[in-house]
């Protein structure tokens, strides 16, 4: 094995050991604006629209959408499968048909569903890798855009067609377009994980570069302060 191939192989092993499914809770470090929290109450969600997506490890995708103006709450969880009350260990080890997902509660007067789709497909994750996001592999990390209305389905399909035509990615989008059925919130320690655990090796090596790329692509949509 050549030196370059050996180096690539060892780096691959390192990333796999830091994969989202391998991490356990670390000691909490509270930052200036924590995004931790479960599902909003009915009163908190009143007047807000809801969108649900899956795009790999939810530690990263939750933070990306938390940073958008008009987004009030983002909840990490599980969706796309048939099993009730799935756990992180079950989903992460591929024992269910669910994918790591996140639910976005947003003010449609401040940010549109189309803008959420643009972020999701163009900066939120890589929608062209089948059952994989970076070091995380398996159907639990597949890309899914869930729709609640026929209009949302049309927007999703039109966005996929447009992005494919633009050649933004060298490969076609493989995102599943599915009707929304049920969302199961993840365990409390996953909510706001990116901000609470900045020392986590996965956060530093995988999540932070992806979030920095998103911020560079959509500065006009960011909250101020983040």
Whether 57 is a known active-site residue: answer: yes
- Alpha-carbon span 211 to 185, nearest angstrom: 22
Q: Which of 102, 100, 32, 45 is nearest to 72 (CA)?
A: 45
Whether the CB-CB separation of 172 and 165 falls below 8 Å is answered with no
Characterize the bridge pairing of strands 136-137 and 183-185. Answer: unpaired
Burial of 125 (0-12, 13-18, 19+ CB in 10 A): buried
The distance in angstroms from the start CA to the end CA of the chain is 46
Q: Own/partner pairs for 163-168, CB < 8 Å, 24+ apart? A: 163/121, 163/122, 163/127, 168/122
Catalytic residue among 51, 57, 119, 196: 57
Active-site positions? 57
């Amino acid at each position: 094995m050549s030196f370059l191939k050996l180096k690539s192989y060892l780096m691959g092993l390192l990333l796999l050991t830091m994969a989202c499914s391998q991490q356990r809770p670390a000691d909490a470090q509270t930052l200036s604006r924590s995004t931790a929290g479960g599902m909003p109450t009915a009163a908190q969600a009143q007047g807000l629209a809801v969108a649900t997506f899956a795009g790999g490890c939810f530690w990263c995708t939750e933070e990306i959408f938390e940073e958008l103006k008009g987004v009030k709450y983002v909840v990490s969880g599980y969706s796309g499968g048939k099993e009730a009350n799935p756990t992180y260990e079950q989903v992460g080890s591929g024992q269910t048909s669910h994918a790591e997902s996140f639910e976005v509660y947003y003010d449609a007067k401040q940010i549109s569903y189309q803008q959420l789709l643009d972020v999701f497909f163009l900066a939120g994750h890589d929608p062209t890798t089948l059952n994989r996001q970076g070091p995380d592999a398996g159907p639990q990390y597949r890309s899914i855009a869930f729709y609640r209305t026929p209009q949302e389905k049309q927007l999703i399909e039109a966005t996929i067609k447009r992005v494919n035509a633009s050649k933004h990615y060298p490969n076609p989008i493989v995102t599943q377009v599915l009707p929304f059925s049920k969302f199961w919130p993840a365990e409390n320690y996953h909510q706001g994980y990116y901000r609470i655990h900045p020392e986590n090796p996965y956060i530093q090596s995988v999540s932070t570069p992806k979030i920095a790329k998103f911020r560079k692509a959509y500065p006009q949509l960011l909250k101020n302060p983040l």
